[in-house]
Structure 1
Amino acid sequence: METELLSYAFSGLLVIVFFISIALAFRFSDGHVRLRKRLKSRLIYGLPVGSMITIVTVLAVYLFLQGGIHDWDNPVVHPFRSWSYFYPTGTVASGFAHGSPSHLTSNLTTTLILAPIAEYIWGHYPDGQGGTNASRDQPWYRYPIIRACVLFPGAAFVIAVLTGAFSLGSVIGFSGVVFAFGGFAVVYYPIITVVGLLVVGVVRTILDGLVEPISFAGVTSTLPGWTSTAVQGHGLGFLIGVLLGITLLYHRNKRPRIFELFVALLIYGLTRGLWQIYRPLGGNEFVLYRALGVSVVLIGAVLVTATVVASKRPLFEGSSVTQREAGVISLVAILAFLIGPGIVTNLVIIDYHDEPADDELAVEDYIIGYDENAENPTEFVFDAPGTDETIERTSSGVYVASDQRQLWIMDTSQNQLRSTGTADIQIGGIGWRETVTAERDGLQVLGAQSVYAVELRHDDQLVTAYESNASTANIRIDNRSISFAPDIDDRFTITVEGSDGVEETASIPSVNESVEIGGIMFRASETNGTKFISAERDGTVTTVAQEE
């Protein structure tokens, strides 16, 4: 309660200090007057209307399509990934959907800064004559309202679909478009874009202070962030933005300063993680090619800079190709190189059974189950070299499958479920969502592997999805072995086997109760909410198992 009150107090303090500081900045500076005038010369009422429409659209997808309005922290994710070209809903929606609140806010805060810069460059008034409408004899695309409300957000929509369709694997997120905004802006206004990146960090810090004014941390063992970064999709979006920016520079016969452009491209590529080239090795292991990635960013910065400042002179004497054309062709070739693997990895087929097995649970077209070393049924239409590395063929945990949606994913790993005990699996589609709960009940057996069972629940459905093998404690009492096993009816059973091979089995006792099995007395006790099972024989008491 004290922490909660402090959180509210600190959040309120941050809001007050923020607005006071902004008010003082405007009070003692007249720069905002000139800024407003410049904005109005290119944007309707000086506002980035297209950026606002884009941000609202992405937020609406999270709130209404993914069900974030009902459960902000747990959106429906699976049906909105780009699983396969044979599931077009995922291909189209993946570029707008997000996997978590942090994923959404990360992309939107960057969009909040970079999209207005890109929109200012594009301009609602292409001639910079704010307040003047296009004349009737001018093309439709020069009308300010069309440029603001249709063309700019429309371009974002097209890029979102392209990056969703051509990114490696089952991606999700608006980051491809965010990188396109960045690529478009950095070739036109290098320094302003780099400053914008700094502002992104400021905005995120302020938002973090509002949303989570007090944080606690401990020792954790998690994979580094680059292992879940869609760097190929980011590079794809960035290069699309760069090509669009170069096209506009050529059309307007403008070019930035060479050194500023090169440095800005280098800063953008290195700070935004475009150097993070990696590949999975399987079993939650990855290899990062850091030196190669940094080299790629350096080469890319040189190539983009050379293309931006290239002239219309022939590439060499007698050549019919100009320097500009050579540069653009090189960038388009790199774009094609990035797109190729994305096409192969999205041409996949999931051949999974329509009806659930006895140990699986079905909700609409989804099948949910649990298994150890479950086989991923994804099959590539084109078995190109390296395609199998983009997916993990075997994994353990709670899986979700849908033949209709061409998806199969390990939703909750075995280790995650072991540490939490329960997990909520969000499934759904356009206009609906459901939650399936997975529960693990286990015993840690002395000196041996744990025994456990996993149940899946949805409304009035209850399925025992998995029961582990029996496990024998690493101890013998009076030459008798003690084994534990999960049981559908009795949760767990204890089996005592004597030296003569005779076995006796009974259910584990409840807390503060005991049961005699094979001449050994087993008692259940509870300490700090954890149940312990002890074995007693001839006055010797030994703990042989405890709840996970």
Structure 2
Amino acid sequence: MASFEVLAPRLAVVLAAACSIVLVWWLDDVRGERVAALRSRFLLGVPWATLLVLAFVLAVYLFAQDGIDSWYSPVVIPFRAWSYLYPLGMLTAPFSHAGSGHLLGNLVGTLTFAPIAEYAWGHYPDERDGSLPASALQASPVGRILLFVLAVLAVGLLTSFFALGPVIGFSGVVFAFAGVAVVFYPLATVIALAAGNVLQLLYSALSNPVTVASASPSFAPPWWAGIAIQGHALGLLCGVLAGVLLIRRREHAPSAFSLWVGVLLLGVSQSLWAVYWYRGGETFVLFRAVGTVLVFALAGLVAVGVATPDRLSLADRDRGQRSALDVDLGLGDTDIDVGRSVRRVATAVLVASLIGMAVPAVPVNLTAVSDEQVGDASGNGVSASPVPSNALSPNGSARDSDGTNDSNASNASALRANGTIEIRGYTIRYAERVQNQLVSVIDVSAFGETTAVNTSGVIVTNADREIWTTAVSKSRLGFAGSATVRVGGVGWAEVVGVRRSGWSVAGGNSTYKVFLQPNDDDRRLAYAAPPAIGEPVLDGKNVSIAPRRQGFAVVVSRNDTTLERAPIPRKNGSVSVAGLTFERDEGRLLATYGTTELQIAERETYPGS
């Protein structure tokens, strides 16, 4: 019965979609013409190159990124485009993905735009093309399919080698498909945008027929902060320019209005206006007005570059209103052949825009991550607070307030004094307020923004692979309480667990510890925050909570002088410190002096856990 309840809604979706398609196909009077049109452009009426590209991208995710074993959390870090000095990342980044949602989004985008671009290219030499094929490869359907696939690979590598930052994903190529499609068939491309939503709906309906949801807190940066806007623009411009070169060999081009509308709607719907900057921490700046101007400018340039007629007639425009200057110049009613010049200028601006976006990536991608930068991941910021030596247990293990041990035993991954983990060239550590070496690789300040920004969280570095990244930010860990970091390479992967444990004192301050735990090993203390001082004052004394290897300590002081300290008692326990009594009530710590009782602190809770 349970299996039927699972299968029934999926079968209903399949039957509904199939019946709807068959019904429309039967009612369509020109279905034969549509089939003939497909066969005239595709071998056997099938976009083979699109299918080959889809299979290749999926194979990279499943086998190179270990998505076949970890569908929702593949290996990502080594497959980003970190530097020219790390060829593996540069070559794999445009065909790898950060997760299953990222992958499926780009596969749907490919299914949406790639067939249109492939239709424009065609598997057969175009009869409307004034010249003969340059080679036998271009004359053969199989050869033209192969050329299309090779062009896809080339555009993918271009978007990887000339993208700013460690990009990952096939979206640059998807935008190139869209660029070719919108130049040839602008209105069909706009319709295809809606078709992509239908494909996504079908996938969601089949994978999750019924969803039960309730209100819950969430942690996420602004949605636009996850867009590789420069890489998308690179891909789109590559596609547009390729489309311009192809369509100029055809007899007819779309109208200027349809081109303008198509590019404008494509740019707006695909968020090409989302120009932003990373300010550090979890702060981003969106330049929406600038992005809007750029989208309108792009739409106008494409319309001019493609649809401007060969001959612009001044006579037609100003018939009966010719100026004396026209007569003096001897123009009369003669058509002035300026259309080609206008098109060339518009195309030159598009090419210059492409070069202008690509060139800044070269010095960035040529920069190496030095051993000093790897070491500075914790050395230049706030390191772990000193932990009292008398807090150590006889065997050197750290015991948390819940009784669990933090063993210093080592195995294949070496342990440093600050809890840093090393795995086959990777260094994983926790640090706060360190300079973000990824953003500040080149020192630039403009328009009130700068590349010199700080970061806090779990930092992963690998000098051999030119990797420096904040894998889990401090804010995200503070929200979720735990996270995992996957490192690896082709054919291998390791998982490091991260956990935060802390106390919040009255007044809003908090102190905490961060632990790292490799696969099949004990967790190690990676970071201890400074003590948190509470606002309440009892008998003229201040109370603070401080981390120690054996959990946390309650510290009583007066006039900045520590009077006494003791471990926070276990649940339902109590302890006397400097004349004050502290009682642990589940996750709360209460202080009593005489008849006065106050809540001093409570154990951190994590809404995202």
Please list the CA deviations of residues 71-102 of structure 1 after superposition, one character each: whole Å capped at 9, or x if unmatched. 11112111111122221221221111111222
- Of 487, 502, 505, the residue aligned with 2:548 is 487
Aligned-pair CA distance for 1:398: 0.9
The equivalent of 2:594 in structure 1 is 538
- Of 191, 195, 199, the residue aligned with 1:199 is 195
Aligned residue type for 1:462: R
- Supply the distance in 1 between the matched residues of 2:503 and 2:593 (Cα, whole angstroms): 21
The equivalent of 1:140 in structure 2 is 137
Please list the CA deviations of residues 289-329 of structure 1 after superposition, one character each: whole Å capped at 9, or x if unmatched. 33332222222222211211345569997999844433332
Aligned residue type for 2:569: P
Report the 3-state secondary structure (helix = DSSP H, G, I; strand = E; otherwise coil) of the residue aligned with 1:94.
Answer: helix
**CA separation of 1:363/1:389 partners in 2, compared to 1, >3 Å: closer, same or farther?**
farther
1:172-211 superposed matches below 5 A: 172-211=168-207
Report the 3-state secondary structure (helix = DSSP H, G, I; strand = E; otherwise coil) of the residue aligned with 2:89.
Answer: helix
Aligned-pair CA distance for 1:285: 3.0
**CA separation of 1:313/1:28 partners in 2, compared to 1, >3 Å: closer, same or farther?**
closer
**CA separation of 1:508/1:251 partners in 2, compared to 1, >3 Å: closer, same or farther?**
same
Aligned-pair CA distance for 1:226: 1.8
Please list the CA deviations of residues 508-540 of structure 1 after superposition, one character each: whole Å capped at 9, or x if unmatched. 2221222233333322232xxxx2222233354
1:220-231 superposed matches below 5 A: 220=218, 222-231=220-229
Report the 3-state secondary structure (helix = DSSP H, G, I; strand = E; otherwise coil) of the residue aligned with 2:181.
Answer: helix
Report the 3-state secondary structure (helix = DSSP H, G, I; strand = E; otherwise coil) of the residue aligned with 2:84.
Answer: coil
Aligned residue type for 1:343: V
Contact map agreement 2:311 2:339 (CA 8 A) in 1 = no
| Bigger Cα displacement from structure 2, 347-356 vs 308-317 | 308-317
Alignment of 1:337 with 2:356, yes or no, is yes
Contact map agreement 1:313 1:322 (CA 8 A) in 2 = no
**CA separation of 1:472/1:6 partners in 2, compared to 1, >3 Å: closer, same or farther?**
farther
- Of 422, 425, 450, the residue aligned with 2:482 is 422
Aligned residue type for 1:101: S
The equivalent of 1:472 in structure 2 is 533
Please list the CA deviations of residues 481-520 of structure 1 after superposition, one character each: whole Å capped at 9, or x if unmatched. 32211111x1111223368956222222221222233333
Q: Unpaired runs of 5+ in structure 2?
A: 314-334, 376-414, 605-609
The equivalent of 1:276 in structure 2 is 274
- Supply the distance in 2 between the matched residues of 1:221 and 1:452 (Cα, whole angstroms): 19
Superposition RMSD in Å: 3.1
- Supply the distance in 1 between the matched residues of 2:123 and 2:497 (Cα, whole angstroms): 50
Report the 3-state secondary structure (helix = DSSP H, G, I; strand = E; otherwise coil) of the residue aligned with 2:476.
Answer: helix
Please list the CA deviations of residues 189-239 of structure 1 after superposition, one character each: whole Å capped at 9, or x if unmatched. 111111111111222222233334415253656443222212221111111
- Supply the distance in 2 between the matched residues of 1:448 and 1:267 (Cα, whole angstroms): 47
- Supply the distance in 2 between the matched residues of 1:268 and 1:515 (Cα, whole angstroms): 66
Aligned-pair CA distance for 1:365: 1.0
- Supply the distance in 2 between the matched residues of 1:388 and 1:462 (Cα, whole angstroms): 42
- Supply the distance in 1 between the matched residues of 2:506 and 2:441 (Cα, whole angstroms): 48
The equivalent of 2:148 in structure 1 is 152
- Supply the distance in 2 between the matched residues of 1:88 and 1:387 (Cα, whole angstroms): 34
The equivalent of 2:49 in structure 1 is 50
Larger radius of gyration: 2
- Supply the distance in 2 between the matched residues of 1:300 and 1:264 (Cα, whole angstroms): 11
Aligned-pair CA distance for 1:145: 1.3
Aligned residue type for 2:547: P
Aligned-pair CA distance for 1:28: 3.4
- Supply the distance in 2 between the matched residues of 1:158 and 1:512 (Cα, whole angstroms): 66
TM-score, structure 2 length as denominator?
0.80
Report the 3-state secondary structure (helix = DSSP H, G, I; strand = E; otherwise coil) of the residue aligned with 1:396.
Answer: strand
Report the 3-state secondary structure (helix = DSSP H, G, I; strand = E; otherwise coil) of the residue aligned with 2:83.
Answer: coil
Report the 3-state secondary structure (helix = DSSP H, G, I; strand = E; otherwise coil) of the residue aligned with 2:585.
Answer: strand
The equivalent of 1:523 in structure 2 is 583
The equivalent of 1:346 in structure 2 is 365
The equivalent of 1:163 in structure 2 is 159
Contact map agreement 1:448 1:472 (CA 8 A) in 2 = no
The equivalent of 1:59 in structure 2 is 58
The equivalent of 2:246 in structure 1 is 248
Aligned residue type for 1:140: L
- Of 211, 214, 226, the residue aligned with 2:211 is 214
**CA separation of 1:164/1:500 partners in 2, compared to 1, >3 Å: closer, same or farther?**
closer
The equivalent of 2:502 in structure 1 is 442
The equivalent of 1:394 in structure 2 is 454
Aligned-pair CA distance for 1:374: 1.9
- Supply the distance in 1 between the matched residues of 2:176 and 2:528 (Cα, whole angstroms): 49
Contact map agreement 1:348 1:378 (CA 8 A) in 2 = no
**CA separation of 1:21/1:495 partners in 2, compared to 1, >3 Å: closer, same or farther?**
same
- Supply the distance in 1 between the matched residues of 2:26 and 2:252 (Cα, whole angstroms): 35
**CA separation of 1:167/1:7 partners in 2, compared to 1, >3 Å: closer, same or farther?**
farther
Report the 3-state secondary structure (helix = DSSP H, G, I; strand = E; otherwise coil) of the residue aligned with 1:261.
Answer: helix
Contact map agreement 2:79 2:168 (CA 8 A) in 1 = yes
Aligned residue type for 2:360: P
Contact map agreement 2:369 2:463 (CA 8 A) in 1 = yes
Aligned residue type for 2:473: S
Aligned-pair CA distance for 1:284: 3.1
The equivalent of 2:417 in structure 1 is 358
| Bigger Cα displacement from structure 2, 430-439 vs 118-127 | 118-127
**CA separation of 1:440/1:118 partners in 2, compared to 1, >3 Å: closer, same or farther?**
same
**CA separation of 1:499/1:38 partners in 2, compared to 1, >3 Å: closer, same or farther?**
closer
Contact map agreement 1:311 1:323 (CA 8 A) in 2 = no
- Of 453, 457, 467, the residue aligned with 1:407 is 467
- Supply the distance in 1 between the matched residues of 2:7 and 2:541 (Cα, whole angstroms): 60
Aligned-pair CA distance for 1:280: 3.1
- Supply the distance in 2 between the matched residues of 1:36 and 1:318 (Cα, whole angstroms): 41
- Supply the distance in 1 between the matched residues of 2:6 and 2:171 (Cα, whole angstroms): 31
The equivalent of 2:437 in structure 1 is 377
Q: Unpaired runs of 5+ in structure 1?
A: none
The equivalent of 2:380 in structure 1 is none
The equivalent of 2:257 in structure 1 is 259
- Supply the distance in 1 between the matched residues of 2:51 and 2:212 (Cα, whole angstroms): 31
| Bigger Cα displacement from structure 2, 388-397 vs 152-161 | 388-397
What percent of counterpart residues are identical? 35
- Supply the distance in 1 between the matched residues of 2:165 and 2:285 (Cα, whole angstroms): 17
Please list the CA deviations of residues 327-364 of structure 1 after superposition, one character each: whole Å capped at 9, or x if unmatched. 33222112111212222332322123578853211111
Please list the CA deviations of residues 441-500 of structure 1 after superposition, one character each: whole Å capped at 9, or x if unmatched. 101112251111111010325321100112222223333332211111x11112233689
Aligned residue type for 1:325: R
